[in-house]
Amino acid sequence: MIQKKIEDLLASLGVDDYSFGNLQGLLPEDYEDLVTGISFGIPLSKRVMEGISDFEPTHVYFHHYRTVNAFIDHVGLRLVMLLQKEGYDAIAVPASQSINLEGYDYAGLFQHRTAATRSGFGWIGKNGCLIHPKHGPRIRLGTVLTDAEFEYQPPLDESKCGSCQACVLKCPSMALVGNNWQLGMTRDQLVDAQVCSKHMATHYKHIGRGVVCGICLKVCPVGRKD
């Protein structure tokens, strides 16, 4: 059974957090036959995340961020290789890639967060990030799209953040709107992505060319033992 083989491969790679979701009707035309999303997550180092201050990220965090992304891409490739060997079609969504098709707006091949919420992996927080019940937003996501079918987990359609405003109050760029996520919301109803990006490029250029922050990830209380 392909699901067991996928689970065994993920276990051999040290990946414990994963789920399977039905993406039918949500995919772009080029991939609409790949109805299954395999979502998996790599938790970020607690020590590295605690090193982030209230004002800026660290060089260690930037390196950790890139290292985890590289590992996610490796895991995605291994999953695709297995699925193809078993006769299925599959494609791995890059861990971190922006595609500019319209000349002004950047987006990924397919949103990791959409695949994750459709598989019950977590919900979208007020910071626009996926909130995992165990790790909070301190987890990087991977996604593989495939035409193989699995036992799907039920999706999550709404936020569990409630009245918490921790990330909203700590965001140094004031880019977070403060709304609770619900299915169908657009990104700009949660986060002003341009304001966030401009703040990082302006203030953190000395750390990884200004492409990471992480403050809203650090302060989220979900998954924190303190």
9 confidence band (pLDDT: 50, 70, 90): very high
Q: State which H helix or E strand residue 24 sits in.
A: none
| Every domain of the chain and the residues it spans | 2-219
Is 40 in a helix, a strand, or coil? strand
Mean pLDDT of 95-103: 67
Residue-level pLDDT at 108: 63
What's the confidence (pLDDT) of residue 57? 97
Of 190, 114, 191, 200, the C-alpha closest to 157 is 114
- Between 189 and 99, the higher pLDDT residue: 189
Q: What is the distance of C-alpha 152 from the center of its chain?
A: 19
Nearest by Cα to 1 from 82, 112, 121: 82
Task: Work out the pLDDT band at 102, boundaries 50, 70, 90.
Answer: low
The model's pLDDT over 39-85, given as tens digits with 9 standing for 90+, comes to 999 999 999 999 999 999 999 999 999 999 999 999 999 999 999 99
Question: Whole-angstrom Cα distance, residue 86 to residue 190?
Answer: 40
| pLDDT above 70 (res 98) | no
Q: Is the model's pLDDT at 196 over the cut of 70?
A: yes
Q: How confident is the model at residue 2 (pLDDT cuts 50, 70, 90)?
A: very high
Residue 167 neighbours by CB distance under 10 Å: 25
pLDDT of residue 209: 86
- Looking at residues 128-138, what average pLDDT do you find? 97
| 101: pLDDT strictly greater than 60 | no
